[in-house]
Structure 1
Amino acid sequence: MSRNILPASLAADHLKIVSTAVPSPTVARWQPAKVKKLAGSACEYCRKRRRKCNGEQPCPLCVDNMQECIYDAIKSETPVQAVKRKHAQMQQDHDELRSLFKVIATANVQKSLEIHNRIRAGQSPEIILQQLKHGDILIQTKINSPKHVRHVLLSSLMQTNASFDDMVEFIGLSVAKTPGVPAPTAALLRQLRGRQTDLRGLRKLLGHSQPPPPQRRIAISDLLSDQGSQPFATAYPISTKPEPDDHIETSREPIYKVPAKPWTRLTDDDDLVSHLISLYLEWVNPFFRVLEEDLFIKAMQSGDLNSEYCSPFLVNAMLGYACLYSEREGAFYQPDDYITRGQHFHDEAFRLWHLEEGTASLRNLQGLAVMYPGCIMRGKDKLGVALCAVLTQLNLSVPYTPQRSPSGVEPNSDEIRAFQRARKSVAWSAFACDMATANTLLQPAWHTVCKEDLPTLDELPTESTHVWTGYPHRNKDDRLDKSVMWIAHCQLIQMTWKAQRLLYASDRNDLQFLSRVEALTEEMSHWKNDLPKELHFRKDLPAPVYDLYSCYTCVIIALYSLFQPLGSAQSPQSEQNSPFEQNPECQHPTPPHHISEATQTSAQTLSAQTMRQRAIATAQDMAAIIGNFRHQYGLKITLPYFVNANGVVCFTLLQDLDNPASAAAFKEAFRCLLGAGMQLLWARGMARMLHLTAQNTGIKLPKAIEACLDAVADTAWTKADTEMLSSCWPNLVIVKDAKIGESVTMEDLIKKWEKFAVDVEEAKGEGMQAKEEEVAIEAMRPKWYIPR
């Protein structure tokens, strides 16, 4: 069979002509064949089924069949190197399993049971052995000791939604050695994990008799000062519906279903990872909006390690943060130790961040923005400040448009809009972190220019409006437009930046200073009044919105009094009306424009006194909001700005406790600070610093608070907490009077005052011993002895 072959010149001309036309089967024979890029090795799923694999991660076949795409070899290694690496990994796993088996075989029953519980919780042998090596596992030898049971009981009690007085009464009944009251066991108290309860449910669990039902729900108005019976009024009434017999609410299924692999090596438990990710996205992300939920969940479910919207660093950072809100076994780093929850994921996130070597990418920005508040909540805000500096600098290097894919494919319009949406979210989150750092360090923010690109509803997805469910403790169906709240948050952060520049980068002796403060507070007041209706405060407000009011309160109080020269101005004792009623004396004063130098001092004193009154009224207002949060949600989950607002309110009211309204508000804020301190070292440090400040400045705390602190002394603060704390949060009472170079940070003051207390006790002990020796010697001397 013969075929016609065109001459070389004609064949070339023919190919030129048909190159612009639709190719025919004949012409296709003359076109050079494309050389297919062979994959170095196939994944396990394709290899078992003898299917072609393109070497991508994940490959198309695994995606279509929803399988985990696993390769024996890495792209950059040869098959021989892959075999050697796999053999070394198998040898390491074998050694770890043998070591763990040897520990279990030689350990006592309680120790073996604790290791077994950690294995069931999803911890790897490597992590368990590491904890054993460093002595971090507090095995069950002390789990049933009276001291441990008391600690667990007090921790559970502090996290309920009980008021301060109810809590003190219950401590006297359950913690004190009362005859006839059965002592609970640690196993019984562990049933409280993962549940939200009040005193009624706690009494029922412990088998205590219920007190006679009150005529109405005990609320903030029952928090009375020690000097009178006038209640602390609140403009937000608390529900008076009768409580059910058992107010314990069980957890539900996670909102989002995501895989553990390939995102973390610390656990294979998909349900635990789904639970923690749902916790973060439900409670933290609506306010901070570090990431876009839809993009992140889709990327995490795909298992694509090359995705722009998910990475092992980001996932482990989220898991470590969410563990602070979880009571599942896998969240605990040490048994029943709430302070160290999530430390394993937290450390893993830092390990992965070091491997990134400062790479500027969207997902690294998101991971740092998650790590920043996580460090602060753990009482490591010095480390958080360092991360914020890296986040601020790295934010300047990440582009606002997506780059080409490794295969050179240009992104389409939808992909560009999605990337820009996620990029804008994390940019504003970085801006918010910078503002929070400036509040902590009492200095201007690193952002010398305010962000002006406010987000709009047009550029956000319409499906961003969701129902807030309160997972996992409540079954709510509150409507919360997260986009609307985020826009309001960004507007508030802009005003926060203005406050930072006004407080820390302007001359306070300028006659126009007070008028600028008045103008900014007026602007913030308009912002609050103009909030969308769904963000107006009500008793059943979704929990993330509390952070919005907390942030607003912290900035307003700072403008009013915290960093202003107050002199000897004090709040008048007659100011006992509701903090929500407009006080005529708290109207905006007229700024002094044309006044002589002789009257300038008196005008500043009058302005300082007026602003102090307004700061106290604002703190009382926030204490009522804090009480509503405590009543509605308990204190198992406390949000970052909410904890900060608790501390600011307490320090603001600390010097006004002679006022019954301020004393009652202080009790509510301090009660919530104690509850948050059962699980967060940052809040625990605030409560400790408040107590030491009162002791060292001669301020008398209400009797109920002193009684409660005595009862929970070994639970609310320990020596180990002092060693763990690394905080630069300032003492807002003494910061105005501090000398140049004098440290007023939480960490330094607590260590200084505790050392001083120890020295005083030792001196007293030596003095008493010397006095006793002198008395003994005197008794041995003859009656006729006359000293020289």
Structure 2
Amino acid sequence: MSRNILPASLAASCTSFTRPSSSGPSPAAAQWQPVKVKKLTGSACEYCRKRRRKCNGEQPCPLCVDNNQECIYEVTKTETQGQAVKRKHAQMQQDHDELKSLFAILATGSNQKTLEIHNRIRSGQSPGLILQQLKHGDILIQSRLNSERHVRHVLLSSLMQTNASFDDLVDFIGLTVARDPSAQVPTAALLRQLRGQQTDLKGLRSLLGYAQPASTQRRIAISDLLSDQGGPASESGSSRSESLEMENSKRSSEPPYRLPAKPWTTLTDDDDLVTHLVSLYMEWVNPFFRPLEEDLFVAAMQAGDLTSEYCSPFLVNSILAYACLYSEREGAFFQPDDYLTRGQQFHDEAFRLWQLEEGRATLTNLQALAIMYPGCILRGKDKLGVSTCAVITQLCRDVPKTLPTSSPSRIPTSEDMLDYQRARKVASWAAFACDMATANTILQPASNTKCKDDLPTAAELMISPSRVWTGYPHHNKDDLLDTSALWVAHCRLTQLSWKAQRLLYASDRSDPLFPVRVEALTEEMNGWKRALPACLHFQGRLPAPVYDLHSCYAAVIIALYSLFQPIGATQSSPTSESSPIQEIHSPETTLQETIRQGKEANTRALFARVMRDRAIATAQEMAVKMGNFRHHYGLKIIPPYFVQANGVVCFTLLQDLSNPASAAAFKEAFRCLLGAGMQFLWARGMARMLHLTAQNTGIQLPKAIETMLEAVADTAWKKSDTEMLSSCWPNYAIAKDAKVGESVMMEDLIKKWERVALNEEEGRGKR
């Protein structure tokens, strides 16, 4: 092959960078131009290399563009194929070393550290980034745990969860933590020893090295202001039996059974943790809420049978997510010492598993969603809870009513069929209860337009209806709990709740017969209360799940009483020498009796006043039960409806604080709400909205409450809580006065009022 070669002199002139003359190039230069050399690439892209086509090394190359292919290079433009191989080998070695180091940490690290690593892996972080963060993260976390501000937060949270009364708590904080600059502050490590234990002020004083106070004159308890309460007051007396009870409650009880972590969850292989969490749920939640039958679920979980009709990974992870809200073990925390994030890892895993189910209508899916529903609400995500409830309602209609056969070779026996029908019926009533809870909470009609009428009977439930309630893990009790009687009473109350919400939110209130219908339903609900078995009547101390039954009743009946007129329309005038309770009609007083006794000509106005008085009286009565629960059990574990009742009672009494009985009851309910707010964002949002409502409506809260809110300001509410909240819970104090289009939801009101307060503060700063 021949090619043109220039003379040496001409070649030199052609390669020099001299400006060409104006007369143009010489004829020789024009004839002999240097040949353009093709640009070579170190390596072809994957698409060109596999097809043995020429590649120009561009990104993307023309061939990939023409064929709509992703243009991928194994090597960079500045390296050869050999250099690319070396680079890839070095990268693989680094990845191997990082994975090996991460595996070593997972094998030898604490449960908390391994859980943190797992959470970061699931969030998509690379092993190298996780190792880099862990290298510095331990120091940062330890520094945060030992910081004075964090220790103060942990101490105040522990204080709010004790069984101490509001006044004792205010005194303790005022004389020690808040005002005494020389007060000893324990280390975070010391305070974390309080986890898993029921604390009281005596124990905290010993921990802090404070002297025990001398006995002082006994304060007036709530029961001194209220009459006809069927049991001892929440703070009355210090009998020998109460002392023995408090000593017993300090000894942790053992879980009722052992359960395996595998094959039910991939997030932990700690059988002790899984046993602890499931036992928590079975003791404190399932007896009242009862989405699943304990005997069938436990047997299936212990067997590890993934084909069982009574247990599934989705169901187990939903239980673990909920139970973490009540646990203080390290494995329950998603972020160290952050109570609001407890169980988030299991919560996310449960929803991931639900997506994989693709909406299959099975018994375990229905049960799992019914458990996820209250968990979403307590986490301050009740918008998610409401949408979940809609799915529950639809799924309940599609779940098979007879036992599906898992294999042709296994024919179910008559006993198997009865077990499935029992579990199916209980789960369907739990789904119905979720719908009623949503309707009564957000003040809207329920999805079910027909009332469920297949009321369960004791004969259909467990053969042995009574079980021992131990109060695991904080108490050593041997209380007998009639679970069948409790569940039947709950289902009957749920039927009445359906009638109440249809009357409140799906009927014409201008109808002249509307007060008559309200009065008839009121009498029906009072009849339900009077007909309760003796074991479910309020007394000195009840098994904790029974308090949820009374809380549910109070929330529904107060809504029924206060529907006709806003509670805060007029304030009660202060009483002189007579007891405040004498001004309030008993909840059992019929409208006809009141009309005969009253002098008002306007029956409708009298009806509104009677209903308002009944709502206040019921709220005061429920506050006594709240104080009783707080006194016996503390506020580390709080049943879900108990939190709802706390909010309803507080908003009911908010504008009746001039009445001493209402003020005392409000203090107790708000005390319990603050304690719940240390653990649940939903309760924390309620307390914050109450405080902002009082500020924006000119209501003066009791001085003790203002003092407490000032002392725990950074602990009771943070700016970040506003962004975390996703709530449609309404402000009951202003819901009926709201204008068309005006939002009365917790999330919207808190953001609006805090934004207004911030603007006012900035305006004062500019002056």
Shorter chain as denominator, the TM-score bin is: 0.7 to 0.9
Instruction: In structure 2, give the amino acid aligned to 1:663.
Output: A
Instruction: Find the aligned partners of 1:306 and 1:338 in 2 and give their Cα distance.
Output: 35
Residues 567 and 328 (structure 1), Cα distance of their counterparts in 2 relative to 1, 3 Å cut? closer
Residues 286 and 756 (structure 1), Cα distance of their counterparts in 2 relative to 1, 3 Å cut? same
Query: Does residue 176 in structure 1 map to residue 178 in structure 2?
Result: yes
Match for 2:158 among 149, 156, 160? 156
Spell out, residue by residue over 1:10-36, the C-alpha distance to the aligned partner (whole angstroms, 9 max, x if none). Answer: xxxxxxxxxxxxxxxxxxxxxxxxxxx
Instruction: In structure 2, give the amino acid aligned to 1:462.
Output: I
Worse-superposed segment, 451-460 or 136-145: 136-145
Q: Which residue of 1 aligns with 2:368?
A: 367
Kept after mapping to 2: 8 A contact 1:375/1:381: yes
Aligned positions of 1:237-316 closer than 5 A: 237-238=232-233, 239-241=237-239, 243=243, 249-316=250-317
Task: Report the Cα offset of residue 178 of structure 1.
Answer: 1.7
Instruction: Find the aligned partners of 2:558 and 2:715 in 1 and give their Cα distance.
Output: 31
Spell out, residue by residue over 1:332-372, the C-alpha distance to the aligned partner (whole angstroms, 9 max, x if none). Answer: 11111111111111111011111111011000000000000
Task: Report the Cα offset of residue 603 of structure 1.
Answer: 2.3
Spell out, residue by residue over 1:544-598, the C-alpha distance to the aligned partner (whole angstroms, 9 max, x if none). Answer: 00000000001111111145366944434339637599847983223999xxxxx
Task: Report the Cα offset of residue 96 of structure 1.
Answer: 7.1
Worse-superposed segment, 528-537 or 565-574: 565-574
Instruction: Find the aligned partners of 1:604 and 1:382 in 2 and give their Cα distance.
Output: 36
Task: Report the Cα offset of residue 92 of structure 1.
Answer: 14
Instruction: Find the aligned partners of 2:583 and 2:693 in 1 and give their Cα distance.
Output: 31
Greater gyration radius: 2
Structure 1: 5+ residue stretches without partners = 1-90, 105-111, 225-229, 594-598, 768-788
Instruction: Find the aligned partners of 1:453 and 1:741 in 2 and give their Cα distance.
Output: 39
2:541 aligned counterpart, secondary structure: coil
1:479 aligned counterpart, secondary structure: strand
Instruction: Find the aligned partners of 1:204 and 1:139 in 2 and give their Cα distance.
Output: 27
Instruction: Find the aligned partners of 1:422 and 1:622 in 2 and give their Cα distance.
Output: 32
Q: Which residue of 2 aligns with 1:627?
A: 627
Worse-superposed segment, 403-412 or 561-570: 561-570
Spell out, residue by residue over 1:388-441, the C-alpha distance to the aligned partner (whole angstroms, 9 max, x if none). Answer: 000100111112111122235331100000000000011000000000111122
Q: Which residue of 1 aligns with 2:438?
A: 437
Residues 342 and 584 (structure 1), Cα distance of their counterparts in 2 relative to 1, 3 Å cut? closer
Q: Which residue of 2 aligns with 1:199?
A: 201
Residues 551 and 580 (structure 1), Cα distance of their counterparts in 2 relative to 1, 3 Å cut? farther
Task: Report the Cα offset of residue 127 of structure 1.
Answer: 2.5
Instruction: Find the aligned partners of 1:335 and 1:692 in 2 and give their Cα distance.
Output: 30
Instruction: Find the aligned partners of 2:663 and 2:364 in 1 and give their Cα distance.
Output: 46
Residues 566 and 211 (structure 1), Cα distance of their counterparts in 2 relative to 1, 3 Å cut? closer
Instruction: Find the aligned partners of 1:194 and 1:547 in 2 and give their Cα distance.
Output: 22
Q: Which residue of 1 aligns with 2:464?
A: 463
Worse-superposed segment, 197-206 or 692-701: 197-206
Q: Which residue of 2 aligns with 1:386?
A: 387
Instruction: Find the aligned partners of 2:279 and 2:583 in 1 and give their Cα distance.
Output: 40
1:467 aligned counterpart, secondary structure: strand
Instruction: Find the aligned partners of 1:264 and 1:585 in 2 and give their Cα distance.
Output: 49
Task: Report the Cα offset of residue 453 of structure 1.
Answer: 0.3
2:749 aligned counterpart, secondary structure: helix
Instruction: Find the aligned partners of 2:375 and 2:735 in 1 and give their Cα distance.
Output: 25
Task: Report the Cα offset of residue 141 of structure 1.
Answer: 2.0
Query: Does residue 190 in structure 1 map to residue 192 in structure 2?
Result: yes
1:466 aligned counterpart, secondary structure: strand
2:398 aligned counterpart, secondary structure: coil
Q: Which residue of 1 aligns with 2:20?
A: none
Instruction: Find the aligned partners of 1:567 and 1:344 in 2 and give their Cα distance.
Output: 42
Worse-superposed segment, 440-449 or 744-753: 440-449
Kept after mapping to 2: 8 A contact 1:569/1:612: no
Residues 584 and 429 (structure 1), Cα distance of their counterparts in 2 relative to 1, 3 Å cut? closer
Instruction: Find the aligned partners of 1:629 and 1:691 in 2 and give their Cα distance.
Output: 24
Spell out, residue by residue over 1:679-717, the C-alpha distance to the aligned partner (whole angstroms, 9 max, x if none). Answer: 000000000000000000111101110011001000000
Instruction: Find the aligned partners of 1:592 and 1:613 in 2 and give their Cα distance.
Output: 12
Residues 408 and 742 (structure 1), Cα distance of their counterparts in 2 relative to 1, 3 Å cut? farther
Q: Which residue of 2 aligns with 1:716?
A: 716
Residues 475 and 363 (structure 1), Cα distance of their counterparts in 2 relative to 1, 3 Å cut? same
Task: Report the Cα offset of residue 174 of structure 1.
Answer: 2.9
Instruction: Find the aligned partners of 2:417 and 2:629 in 1 and give their Cα distance.
Output: 40
Q: Which residue of 2 aligns with 1:653?
A: 653
2:481 aligned counterpart, secondary structure: strand
Worse-superposed segment, 563-572 or 693-702: 563-572
Kept after mapping to 2: 8 A contact 1:308/1:363: yes
Instruction: Find the aligned partners of 1:585 and 1:396 in 2 and give their Cα distance.
Output: 37
2:644 aligned counterpart, secondary structure: helix
Instruction: Find the aligned partners of 2:567 and 2:672 in 1 and give their Cα distance.
Output: 28
Match for 1:236 among 221, 231, 234? 231
Spell out, residue by residue over 1:582-641, the C-alpha distance to the aligned partner (whole angstroms, 9 max, x if none). Answer: 847983223999xxxxx9993222211111011101100000000000000000001111
Query: Does residue 744 in structure 1 map to residue 756 in structure 2?
Result: no
Instruction: Find the aligned partners of 1:435 and 1:410 in 2 and give their Cα distance.
Output: 37
Instruction: Find the aligned partners of 2:396 and 2:98 in 1 and give their Cα distance.
Output: 41
Instruction: Find the aligned partners of 1:634 and 1:491 in 2 and give their Cα distance.
Output: 29
Task: Report the Cα offset of residue 172 of structure 1.
Answer: 1.5
Instruction: In structure 2, give the amino acid aligned to 1:656.
Output: D
Q: Which residue of 2 aligns with 1:727?
A: 727
Worse-superposed segment, 686-695 or 568-577: 568-577
Q: Which residue of 1 aligns with 2:557?
A: 556
Residues 470 and 584 (structure 1), Cα distance of their counterparts in 2 relative to 1, 3 Å cut? closer
Instruction: Find the aligned partners of 2:296 and 2:369 in 1 and give their Cα distance.
Output: 18
RMSD of aligned residue pairs (Cα, Å): 2.9
Spell out, residue by residue over 1:249-284, the C-alpha distance to the aligned partner (whole angstroms, 9 max, x if none). Answer: 243322121000000111110000000000001100
Residues 585 and 533 (structure 1), Cα distance of their counterparts in 2 relative to 1, 3 Å cut? closer
Residues 248 and 522 (structure 1), Cα distance of their counterparts in 2 relative to 1, 3 Å cut? closer
Match for 2:149 among 138, 144, 147? 147
Aligned positions of 1:562-581 closer than 5 A: 562=563, 564=565, 568-574=569-575, 577=579
1:264 aligned counterpart, secondary structure: coil
Instruction: Find the aligned partners of 2:548 and 2:169 in 1 and give their Cα distance.
Output: 25
Aligned positions of 1:411-422 closer than 5 A: 411-422=412-423
Instruction: In structure 2, give the amino acid aligned to 1:634.
Output: G
- In the superposition, the TM-score normalised over structure 2's length comes to 0.81
Task: Report the Cα offset of residue 288 of structure 1.
Answer: 0.7
Residues 505 and 212 (structure 1), Cα distance of their counterparts in 2 relative to 1, 3 Å cut? same
Q: Which residue of 1 aligns with 2:352?
A: 351
Residues 235 and 246 (structure 1), Cα distance of their counterparts in 2 relative to 1, 3 Å cut? closer
1:480 aligned counterpart, secondary structure: strand
Q: Which residue of 2 aligns with 1:16?
A: none
Instruction: Find the aligned partners of 1:101 and 1:262 in 2 and give their Cα distance.
Output: 21
Task: Report the Cα offset of residue 764 of structure 1.
Answer: 1.0
Equivalent pairs, count:
655
Residues 359 and 757 (structure 1), Cα distance of their counterparts in 2 relative to 1, 3 Å cut? same
Q: Which residue of 2 aligns with 1:780?
A: none
Spell out, residue by residue over 1:374-399, the C-alpha distance to the aligned partner (whole angstroms, 9 max, x if none). Answer: 00010000000010000100111112
Instruction: Find the aligned partners of 1:580 and 1:483 in 2 and give their Cα distance.
Output: 38
Worse-superposed segment, 655-664 or 579-588: 579-588
1:736 aligned counterpart, secondary structure: helix
Q: Which residue of 2 aligns with 1:493?
A: 494
Q: Which residue of 2 aligns with 1:663?
A: 663
2:307 aligned counterpart, secondary structure: coil
Aligned positions of 1:20-31 closer than 5 A: none
Structure 2: 5+ residue stretches without partners = 1-92
Instruction: Find the aligned partners of 1:454 and 1:409 in 2 and give their Cα distance.
Output: 31
- In the superposition, the TM-score normalised over structure 1's length comes to 0.79
Q: Which residue of 1 aligns with 2:111?
A: 118
Spell out, residue by residue over 1:280-331, the C-alpha distance to the aligned partner (whole angstroms, 9 max, x if none). Answer: 0110000011000000000000111111100111000000100000001101
Q: Which residue of 1 aligns with 2:479?
A: 478
Query: Does residue 449 in structure 1 map to residue 450 in structure 2?
Result: yes
Instruction: In structure 2, give the amino acid aligned to 1:719.
Output: K
Instruction: In structure 1, give the amino acid aligned to 2:369.
Output: L
Residues 231 and 454 (structure 1), Cα distance of their counterparts in 2 relative to 1, 3 Å cut? closer
Residues 168 and 479 (structure 1), Cα distance of their counterparts in 2 relative to 1, 3 Å cut? same
Instruction: Find the aligned partners of 1:145 and 1:222 in 2 and give their Cα distance.
Output: 38
